[in-house]
Amino acid sequence: MTNFDRIYQNALKEIMEKGIEETNRRTGHKTKAIPGLTFSFDIEKEGFPVLTLRKIPIRVFVAEQIWFISGSRKPEDFLRDYTKIWDDFTNPNDVVTVAYGYRWRKHFGRDQLGKLVELLSNDPSSRHGVIVTWDPTSDGLGGSNKKNVPCPFTFTVNIIGGKLHLHNVIRSNDMILGCPHDVAGFALLQCILAQKLGVKPGVYTHTVSNAHIYDVHYEAAEEIMRRTNDHKSIVLDLPADSFKRAEEKDQSLADDIINGLSSQYQPGEAIKGLKIVL
């Protein structure tokens, strides 16, 4: 197994064995949950974190992250060619009002992602590289009935020791369907930013305030915890100018990254019938 597989298995085991089971009022589902889950790994040393214990769709997180970097909020704009994952969250104008990339680049009247690149280009030692997705004027605190508010709500980027490190903070993570997707997606963002800034990717840290497994996923969690394999680490070979090409929604960039990862990917069997709880 890869190191990320071991980390993920240990997280599931902790939740299933030590998590508190309660019923979530909004969804009506029971969950087992723990607070304050955090794990880290070094991408350069340990490889790119694509879960191999079960098959996950590589094309989805790759296309989604490119869509984020572009700052778009319409799935019809590039993303829907690869996945319809955001279609449940569009308004009648086919707009995702809480699209992460739009909030990183336009929503607050400031291109946070562009400013991050500018900041760390001029001062690699800066500790001000914070990107915020959460809008306190409308998100959370009972201020909205919308079912989609940002889960990964902020991340911080630092360059330490010539490597770019990313700390992703998530308010709520569905550990079966959400976590593997989020880890791979934000690790891809980390690698793209590192390439743009001329450094190597370093430590990815994933912090979850509420790490939970839904009752409809208990059997899947137990199955994943039993699995093992001999999968070697996966190496991400980024095409040149990935940040700029992502901004331009270059379809060949997505295809090259997907093909490069897929050629190394030999996962365990997919677990069928996993339902997203909205």
Q: State the CATH number of the domain containing residue 144.
A: 3.30.572.10
Domain membership of residue 80 (yes or no) is: no
Q: Are 151 and 143 a contacting pair, CB within 8 Å?
A: no
pLDDT at residue 13, rounded to an integer = 98
Domain membership of residue 183 (yes or no) is: yes
Q: Are 15 and 173 a contacting pair, CB within 8 Å?
A: no
Domain membership of residue 3 (yes or no) is: no
Neighbours of 33 (CB within 10 A): 22
C-alpha–C-alpha distance, residues 64 and 211, integer Å: 22
Domain membership of residue 196 (yes or no) is: yes
C-alpha–C-alpha distance, residues 174 and 276, integer Å: 9
Domain membership of residue 188 (yes or no) is: yes
Domain membership of residue 94 (yes or no) is: no
pLDDT at residue 247, rounded to an integer = 98
Residues with a known catalytic role = 151
pLDDT at residue 228, rounded to an integer = 97
C-alpha–C-alpha distance, residues 22 and 257, integer Å: 40
Domain carrying residue 232: 34-72+100-210+227-262
Q: Are 53 and 267 a contacting pair, CB within 8 Å?
A: yes
Is the pTM higher than 0.95? The answer reads: yes
What pLDDT, in 10s, does the model give residues 124-135?
999 999 999 999
Angle between helices 58-70 and 178-197 (to 10 degrees): 50
CA proximity to 208, closest of 138, 260, 151, 157: 151
pLDDT at residue 142, rounded to an integer = 81
CA 179 vs CA 174, 176, 251: distances in Å = 6, 6, 25
Number of domains forming the structure of the chain: 1
Residue 261's identity, in one-letter code, is L
Burial class (CB in 10 A: 0-12, 13-18, 19+), 17: exposed
Domain membership of residue 2 (yes or no) is: no
Neighbours of 224 (CB within 10 A): 22
Which residues in the chain show pLDDT less than 50?
none
C-alpha–C-alpha distance, residues 57 and 61, integer Å: 7
Residues in the chain: 278
Domain membership of residue 239 (yes or no) is: yes
Location of structure tokens 């990964």: 152
